Structure 1
Amino acid sequence: MNNQRSFFFNVDWLTVFIYLCLCTIGWFNIHAAVFDETHPHIIDLDTNYGKQFIFIISSVILGGVILLLDSRFFFGLAPVLYVVTVLLLMVVLVIGRNVGGNQAWIPLGTFRLQPSEFAKFSTCLLLARYLSGVNIRITELRSFLTAAGIIILPMMLIMLQPDTGSTLVFCSLIFVLYREGLSPYFLIVAGLMVALFVTSLLYNQFYVIAALVIITVGIIFLFRVRRDTMVGLVVGLVLCIGYIFSVGFIYGHVLKPHQKSRVDELLGISSDLRGAGYNVNQSKIAIGSGKLWGKGYLQGTQTKYSFVPAQSTDFIFCTIGEEWGFVGSVVVIGLFILLLLRVIMMAERQRSPFSRVYGYGVASIIFFHVMINIGMTIGLVPVIGIPLPFISYGGSSLWSFTILLFILIKLDSNRLGHVL
């Protein structure tokens, strides 16, 4: 009895409540996004909003089962779950169903399983288990390469589908490595690579190289740097120049035509409101038309007349903006911020390195999804097609995020018990 009471009080019920709020908001907005007057009931199982209700109920049950398991179960099973998801990522390349140009789903009757969603929590678990090992130091080359390999393997398989959006999600795990001691220079280098990629597309490459040379020479002479620092700056300059020349190849031969069109649209290189820019333009119109309080539930004209493609999945946030307005959008963003703060707080109060590392993995993935999904609906980032956690339509997405979050809640509920 005491153990049951202890379990009840140790569970972070505020986080569970936020989770339920987001799932409910998602369900109602999916109902609005794909509303069918011939099937008006929100629990009509012939509709996507009826199916989402089933997904939510099954997710809540799944979360409850996770809370009843021993937290050591996840530590012990981490390698097995990782191997299973990697095998599923291989299987989907052979028998997967192609939807929207991505061979990312395994058909299971009327349901489609997306292995890349489940690879997120299995990768977090194995990464946490490895980094929590004795004598593992992320500053050592061997430890860093092993941790990077755990992250990169599923990324490579997902890229073969090809699903660029889901691939990029795994890049967020660099914040986990940074929390565990990785040098901040890696984050600086990552930011520099993004900046060079963008500037190389916006301006002539030789102008960008000339600017880098001038900046490097200026640093050397103005700050009178030592010889070893000078050598490092020169080597860095050479690497930057090589990267700049590779941008043209990446842009011309790696990115697909529709991806290049989206990048061009975002950077203002070209504008095609009837083509690549159509989704984002219609999304911004929908969000802007909501003004302060929104048009009201089921009253959104952009939503009702299906002006925005994929509105129940990737562009669900524009339904919130149109029907619930600025106030509703702020409430949803506020719930996500509160959720992220709770996750980070849970991660920091763990006595177990395994639980701490896993907690930061959860925070990184949810943050990336929220930032990119909302950013692409308002035209701040390219459209890469990733769902809004707990809100977008889809069983695989909701189940995977539920597992991802509730494993952390379970680990946190046991923080005063045995240390993994």
Structure 2
Amino acid sequence: MREADININRVDWVTVLIYFALVLIGWFNIYAAVYDGQVDKSIFDFSINSGKQLVWIGTAIALIIVIMAADYRLFENLAIPLYIFFLILLVITPFVGKEVNGQVLSIGVGSFRIQPGEFAKFATALALAKFMERPTFDLSKPNFQLRAFAVLLLPVVLIILQPDTGTAMVYFSMLIMFYREGLPQKYYILGIGLIALVLLALGIENNLYLVAAVVVIVGILIAIGKKTPQRIIAFTAIGIGLIAFIYSLDFVVSKLPVHQQNRIMVLFNPDLDPLGVGWNVTQSKIAIGSGGLAGKGYLQGTQTKFDFVPEQHTDFIFCTLGEEFGWLGSLVVIALFVTLLTRLVIMAERQKNRFSRIYGYCVVSILMFHFMINIAMTIGLFPVVGIPLPFFSYGGSSLWSFTILLFIFIKMDSSRALQLGRMG
């Protein structure tokens, strides 16, 4: 009882309250997204999404109780077995899963189905924490980098095969944790540079302008430094590689599924086919913009009520909030997410062992990626990739996986006084 009392007293209740606030607000918005103003169905009606979500919320609370009652060392001991278990599920999903819109994402029996790709996030975070917790593990050394990237990329490859590009992208958010644990900055500079190059290559119609810019920059770099043969050869090779990379993008994009090509095109040309491929984003922006400062009022959203925005209860749930509660309501929810992420960073830094700190930063990375990309997606700043808003969007797999991800860390934090000091 003494240990349980210590743990309860050390629970970060601010984080817990923010979680329940987001879940509750999300639940009301899910009801608003399915409410049409004609059929008077209660928010508790199990035949509509809000009623079904209430069941998921109830089971999520049960999961919280189980996690908080467990020994904090259990998650460290199960890290590798859980990782292997979900890898196996990812392997078999394309063969036994249910196909929806050309994707095989879920497995299960009857109406009960889960998405292994969602649950593999916390399993991968635990595995990385277990793998990297040793004091001798040094991310500045190439051999350790290769091992860590192997753990991270294995589920990514399996998820891409489903194919589910959006979920696969989430795993790369854990590179934030890699940075905290010592991965050299040069990799991030290179990555940001390549992303910028990709955006420029996709956004500029004539690649000759971009190629000319690369040639000029490489020429300047050669001119301002020592003109040794090795330096000239190295920069020339880099320039040739970048030019080849630019022209290879068109080929890579052409091999993507048609719907993904369309989403990329809409990102750079929002007015392209507003009644077709650009419909989702166009209607989402109209819904958010029409909310104004204070919104139209709960259950009064016309874009929402008349189903102008597809998937509004899942990926586009934020536009329901924007339309009915306006800029002020959106600001409140964004403030809750920012406060949650800030609390999690503070919690990660106060951990007494490396395992908990690494896992904590994985939690921060995953939640921040979902939060930022989902909102950017609804306002047209990012392609539509099927990223749910944590604790907010409709769906059992989504709510369960985020709940497990968060409360494992809350449990670790509440038990930090009992942890062995193994910081690195």
Compared CA separation, residues 319 and 226, structure 1 to 2 (3 A)? farther
2:355 counterpart residue number: 354
CA distance in 2, matches of 1:395, 1:146: 33
Q: Render the CA deviation track for 1:183-208: whole Å, top value 9, x for unaligned.
A: 11111111111111122222422331
Identity %: 48
Compared CA separation, residues 140 and 305, structure 1 to 2 (3 A)? same
2:210 counterpart residue number: 208
1:291 counterpart residue number: 292
Compared CA separation, residues 228 and 22, structure 1 to 2 (3 A)? farther
CA distance in 2, matches of 1:407, 1:225: 56
Is 2:21 aligned against 1:14? no
- Higher mean C-alpha deviation, range 321-330 or range 41-50: 41-50
Q: Render the CA deviation track for 1:201-253: whole Å, top value 9, x for unaligned.
A: 22422331221121121123235477765554344323322321221211111
Equivalences for 1:73-112 in 2 at 5 Å? 73-112=74-113
DSSP 3-state at the match of 2:107: strand
Is 2:50 aligned against 1:49? yes
Contact 2:377 2:383 in 1 (8 A): yes
DSSP 3-state at the match of 1:135: coil
DSSP 3-state at the match of 1:388: coil
Is 2:254 aligned against 1:252? yes
TM-score, normalised by the number of residues in structure 1: 0.96
1:418 counterpart residue number: 419
Compute the RMSD of aligned alpha carbons.
1.6
CA distance in 1, matches of 2:224, 2:189: 22
Question: Which segments of 5 or more consecutive residues in structure 2 lack a partner in the other structure?
Answer: none
CA distance in 1, matches of 2:55, 2:315: 20
Q: Render the CA deviation track for 1:300-330: whole Å, top value 9, x for unaligned.
A: 0100111100000000000000011100000
Equivalences for 1:285-324 in 2 at 5 Å? 285-324=286-325
Q: Render the CA deviation track for 1:333-365: whole Å, top value 9, x for unaligned.
A: 110000100111111111110111111101111
Contact 1:97 1:106 in 2 (8 A): yes
CA distance in 2, matches of 1:158, 1:189: 25
CA distance in 1, matches of 2:270, 2:320: 28
1:396 counterpart residue number: 397
Equivalences for 1:168-317 in 2 at 5 Å? 168-201=169-202, 202-224=204-226, 232-253=234-255, 255-268=256-269, 271-317=272-318
Contact 1:139 1:183 in 2 (8 A): yes
Contact 2:120 2:155 in 1 (8 A): yes
CA distance in 2, matches of 1:292, 1:270: 25
CA distance in 2, matches of 1:418, 1:393: 36
1:33 counterpart residue number: 33
CA distance in 1, matches of 2:29, 2:350: 35
Contact 2:108 2:114 in 1 (8 A): yes
Deviation at 1:107, TM superposition (A): 3.3
DSSP 3-state at the match of 1:137: coil
Compared CA separation, residues 324 and 218, structure 1 to 2 (3 A)? same
CA distance in 1, matches of 2:241, 2:107: 41
Contact 2:67 2:407 in 1 (8 A): yes
Compared CA separation, residues 30 and 248, structure 1 to 2 (3 A)? same
Give the number of aligned pairs. 419
DSSP 3-state at the match of 2:295: coil
Contact 1:264 1:270 in 2 (8 A): no
Contact 2:370 2:387 in 1 (8 A): yes
Q: Render the CA deviation track for 1:258-286: whole Å, top value 9, x for unaligned.
A: 11111111112861101111000000010
Question: Which segments of 5 or more consecutive residues in structure 1 lack a partner in the other structure?
Answer: none
- Higher mean C-alpha deviation, range 170-179 or range 223-232: 223-232
Contact 1:39 1:47 in 2 (8 A): no
- Higher mean C-alpha deviation, range 230-239 or range 268-277: 230-239
Contact 2:292 2:327 in 1 (8 A): yes
Deviation at 1:123, TM superposition (A): 0.4
DSSP 3-state at the match of 1:105: strand
Contact 1:22 1:390 in 2 (8 A): yes
Compared CA separation, residues 227 and 285, structure 1 to 2 (3 A)? same
Equivalences for 1:160-171 in 2 at 5 Å? 160-171=161-172
- Higher mean C-alpha deviation, range 219-228 or range 326-335: 219-228
Q: Render the CA deviation track for 1:52-87: whole Å, top value 9, x for unaligned.
A: 011111111211211111111111101110011111
Is 2:138 aligned against 1:137? yes
Contact 1:169 1:369 in 2 (8 A): yes
Contact 2:63 2:404 in 1 (8 A): yes
Contact 1:389 1:401 in 2 (8 A): yes
Contact 2:68 2:407 in 1 (8 A): yes
- Higher mean C-alpha deviation, range 305-314 or range 60-69: 60-69
CA distance in 2, matches of 1:215, 1:182: 27
CA distance in 1, matches of 2:171, 2:393: 19
Contact 2:270 2:278 in 1 (8 A): no
